Amino acid sequence: MASTWTEHLCVSCIKGKWLIGEYCYNWAASIDDIPEEERYTEDGELKIPEIWDGHKVLGIADGEYIETDELVERGNDVEFYATELEKAIKFAVDFGWNDYTNFDVAMKQLQKIVVESAQ
């Protein structure tokens, strides 16, 4: 079985310093972490919780892991300042995000947001 997951390109700003990185949904726990008496319906079907550790459960990944809506960093990111927007764009291109439709539109929107925040 091959794992698949949805990746997100996320940007945040804290006190004038920007961060762009790749994030994915958190595989928060194993189904074995669900107490056995709560794990199955009366018919023996797996009962997936709606909430796990305060996050909405999206489903079961790889047939075993509880996937939540919490975004977690994949370890690929770069910090930049408003004057260094080209670093963010290079990061996105280096990781293949420019292959997606509307990449140019997203980068123009990012530029607008970053420039406006610097004013």
- 11-32 confidence digits (pLDDT tens): 999 888 999 999 999 999 999 9
**For the purposes of burial, counting CB atoms within 10 Å of the CB of 12, is it exposed (0-12), middle (13-18) or buried (19 or more)?**
exposed
Instruction: Give this prediction's pTM.
Output: 0.79
pLDDT at 45 over 50: yes
27 beta partners: 67
**The sheet that has 51-52: what strands, in order across it?**
7-14, 17-30, 65-80, 55-61, 51-52
The pair of three-digit structure tokens given for residue 95, joined into one six-digit string: 């990781």
- Residue where the block lists tokens 């018919």: 43
pLDDT of residue 6: 82
pLDDT of residue 1: 46
Banded model confidence at residue 4, pLDDT cuts 50, 70, 90: low
